[in-house]
Structure 1
């Protein structure tokens, strides 16, 4: 599955901001702009959108000698949500349905995505998600499956959002839940250091997926991660990036939790941009439910 043509323009907007932030000289900016165009032309049919993002960010990091250009903003996002942590926790605990409230807050946090838009309105999004129907709602099945699961794998997405993940994990209160993060900094996605910063490591085991794409791309993930992935009874996948990497996975019990941020994903899910989704549907490009299969991924 290749990248959609509209992703090219999204890349351009995001990297224009980064080039200004990193103060690239005009000649460097021109060179990197050509890199964007050439990589897209060469790899658009071969690479998914997260793979293209990884390659482009790797080239920018090499050009700027900055391994984590979002480092300051990631900490700011975490500090912002941590400041309201107790308020959100009280809101969850005092609600009629704590699981539903925690789930909604976790999905609202998915708006904190600097690859799409760094001018997000979190308070408005929280208010909307708490008072809106999900465009796709498999939350009752998620709750039932969690209640019966021996093991759970939770795939993290963005910083800031991970504090809401922590609140949802506390609400789920499963004795065998593992939280997975990116192997190295990529955009504002969560790494081990970020998860530790918000205290997720004090709550559940936190592991790296072994790769630094803004997604979970199984063919590049580590053996250790794949062992956990293959054994998990329930997999919670947060955000568009993880969905893009896993949407054709047909043999695992995956629930995708996200706010739909672009028309490309909206079309794949048959919903609208801005909708909130809790869906177990996989092979989304065919619009079909997950077939049963004994096939499992392996890392040679």
Structure 2
């Protein structure tokens, strides 16, 4: 998915919010903002938003000498999400359709996004999970294909969201005990996307093979992936893509079927997916 005119402003606004969040003095903030604008000016409309964002954030990290700009926020998001895990799993045990309700939990977790939105209300999102309505809902087709699938490539998104992915993956494995799940994370810190380091001590290691995809972009951009990740992505029977960043990198670009699970958080993605801002999606992208 190529960048649109609104994306330039969105990315630059993210840069400005970093200067505020880190309480940079005027001199350092000016340097960061000017560099951000310079990098944005290099890219025309043929590039994907996550590719441009990765370039911008990489330079900001270098200027500030901070490898992981959102390390604190990621830890807090995971800690907050874990507070709800036991409650949600108890609800799943009572569910008439645990697989679908677990999918809702996973999609609801996609509200955790410090790129597009610097603030989010996870508790509010949690309260409405089981009444969630999807603007586009291809879940029944996903369920049918899951029955006989041997391998699933699951593209993770943001830190904190991974806790809700664990709940969904548990139900996937109950539904199809023979399936092998590969859980893809980013190759290095980028915004609040989840990395190997962020998952230390969490349950996901017992539920799936966690794969460092190698990508430095806030989305699974295939050209940046390592060979192992590319091979798994192309050969897996099913692919789940979580979040807008993965959608932006893959939709119309990846030449294979992908099931996109996400909340629509910007008008550019809304137009691309023929949906509306704020809607929830389980959307099968064609080959």
Q: Could you say which residue in structure 1 is the equivalent of 2:267?
A: 263
Deviations 1:274-294 (A, max 9, x none): 00000112xxxxxxxx24xxx
The alpha carbon displacement at 1:194 in A equals: 1.5
Matched, 1:36 2:36: yes
The alpha carbon displacement at 1:207 in A equals: 0.5
Matched, 1:101 2:101: yes
The alpha carbon displacement at 1:35 in A equals: 1.8
Matched, 1:207 2:211: yes
Q: Could you say which residue in structure 2 is the equivalent of 1:161?
A: 161
Whether the aligned pair in 2 keeps the contact of 1:69 and 1:187 (CA below 8 Å) is: yes
Matched, 1:195 2:199: yes
Trace 1:95-244 onto structure 2 (pairs within 5 A): 95-173=95-173, 174=177, 175-244=179-248
Show structure 1 runs of 4+ deviating over 6 A.
none
- Secondary structure at the aligned position of 2:281 is classed as strand
In the alignment, the residues of structure 2 paired with residue 200 and residue 102 of structure 1 have an alpha-carbon distance, to the nearest angstrom, of: 15
In the alignment, the residues of structure 2 paired with residue 54 and residue 198 of structure 1 have an alpha-carbon distance, to the nearest angstrom, of: 26
Q: Could you say which residue in structure 2 is the equivalent of 1:71?
A: 71
Deviations 1:139-164 (A, max 9, x none): 01111111111111000000111000
The alpha carbon displacement at 1:250 in A equals: 5.1
Q: TM-score, normalised by structure 2?
A: 0.94
Higher mean C-alpha deviation, range 111-120 or range 31-40:
31-40
- Secondary structure at the aligned position of 1:95 is classed as coil
Q: Indicate the RMSD between aligned Cα atoms, in angstroms.
A: 1.5
- Secondary structure at the aligned position of 2:41 is classed as helix
Q: Could you say which residue in structure 2 is the equivalent of 1:296?
A: none
Deviations 1:204-244 (A, max 9, x none): 11001111110000011111111111110000000000000
Q: Could you say which residue in structure 2 is the equivalent of 1:272?
A: 276
Structure with larger RCO (C-alpha < 8 A, sep 6+):
2
Deviations 1:24-77 (A, max 9, x none): 332222222122222222113342100111011001100110001211111111
Matched, 1:22 2:27: no
Aligned length: 283
In the alignment, the residues of structure 1 paired with residue 196 and residue 125 of structure 2 have an alpha-carbon distance, to the nearest angstrom, of: 27
Q: TM-score, normalised by structure 1?
A: 0.90
- Secondary structure at the aligned position of 1:252 is classed as coil
In the alignment, the residues of structure 1 paired with residue 39 and residue 45 of structure 2 have an alpha-carbon distance, to the nearest angstrom, of: 11
Deviations 1:72-130 (A, max 9, x none): 11111111111221111111111111011100010000000000113212232233442
Deviations 1:239-288 (A, max 9, x none): 0000000012353221000000011111111111000000112xxxxxxx
Whether the aligned pair in 1 keeps the contact of 2:15 and 2:32 (CA below 8 Å) is: no
Higher mean C-alpha deviation, range 241-250 or range 95-104:
241-250
Q: Could you say which residue in structure 2 is the equivalent of 1:297?
A: none
- Secondary structure at the aligned position of 2:261 is classed as strand
Whether the aligned pair in 2 keeps the contact of 1:211 and 1:220 (CA below 8 Å) is: yes
In the alignment, the residues of structure 2 paired with residue 90 and residue 132 of structure 1 have an alpha-carbon distance, to the nearest angstrom, of: 18
